[in-house]
Amino acid sequence: MASRTIRTQRHKSEADANLEDATVPFYKIVLTGGPCGGKTTAMERLSSYLRERGFHVITCPEAFTIFSSNGLSLDVFSTDGMDVIVQKTVMGTQMSMEDGLESILRARGLPGVLLCDRGVMDGSAYMGVDKFKSLLEERNLDVTDVREGRYNAVYHLITAANGAEKYYTLENNAARSETPEQAVAVDHKTQKAWVGHPKLTVIDNSTDFEGKLQRLVESVSKLVGLPTNLDRVTTKFLLRGRPSID
């Protein structure tokens, strides 16, 4: 008697169905910038703001910071070729975390926001362009894929070393060691890495820090469809005569 193969289909759960539902709003947002640009505070402010307005928010930490806070020191770069090894590991870890957290958010079936502490393109600021492109090619990717196709928006917070020099400090981040001059240079490289993304927004230090955060919140609000002061328009009227106020 011929053998029969019985195929059993796993029951599709609510989470499975949610993963396939592309109608639920989801946004993957990168916060990047130079050292001491305010990313940590900005992530906290945005997370609270969006959660209070009904979004399910998860933050994705910076991969290199995870490594450096667990024993990876800058001394490793004294070995030739370590820039490639480290950035390859950072890239793989960053993409894996982002993809996994995106799946979790989408599976909930609720409006979601993934706030990424830096994105894949940030790695190109710390190594040669050709080396970075080679790392992407190993994953069958190119610069356009990860710069323009992976994230809904990118917000670059300019380092305090450029425009708010008296507030520049590294005391709150043991993973950083840049002088103000080096911070400005890294800031420029990081900003350049994202040029080409259709929704790249640069948040400078033209106001105080609270104003800087407000501009960021306003821009993100507009992106996700929340009411925003950026849409307010002042209208003036030319009167034919002096109005009577009696």
pLDDT given for residue 234 in this prediction: 43
pLDDT given for residue 237 in this prediction: 53
- Contact between 168 and 36 under an 8 Å Cβ cutoff? The reply is yes
pLDDT given for residue 74 in this prediction: 85
pLDDT given for residue 230 in this prediction: 47
pLDDT given for residue 67 in this prediction: 94
SS (HEC) of the chain: CCCCCCCCCCCCCHHHHHHCCCCCCEEEEEEEECCCCCHHHHHHHHHHHHHHCCCEEEEECCHHHHHHCCCCCHHHHHCCCHHHHHHHHHHHHHHHHHHHHHHHHHHHCCCEEEEEECCHHHHHHHCCHHHHHHHHHHCCCCHHHHHHCCCCEEEEECCCCCCCHHHCCCCCCCCCCCCHHHHHHHHHHHHHHHECECCEEEECCCCCHHHHHHHHHHHHHHHHCCCCHHHCCCCCCCCCCCCCCC
pLDDT given for residue 235 in this prediction: 47
Strand partners, 31: 117, 155
pLDDT given for residue 61 in this prediction: 96
pLDDT given for residue 128 in this prediction: 83
pTM for the full model?
0.85
- pLDDT tens for the chain, 246 residues long, are 455 555 556 678 999 999 999 899 999 999 999 999 999 999 999 999 999 999 999 999 999 999 999 999 889 989 999 999 999 999 999 999 999 999 999 999 999 999 999 999 999 998 888 999 999 999 999 999 999 999 999 999 999 999 999 999 877 665 567 889 999 999 999 999 999 999 999 999 999 999 999 999 999 999 999 987 644 444 445 556 665 655
Show the tokens assigned to 228: 């925003």
- Contact between 46 and 60 under an 8 Å Cβ cutoff? The reply is no
Interior/surface letters 67-92, b for 16+ CB within 10 angstroms, e for the rest: bbeeebeeeeeeeeeebeebbbebbe
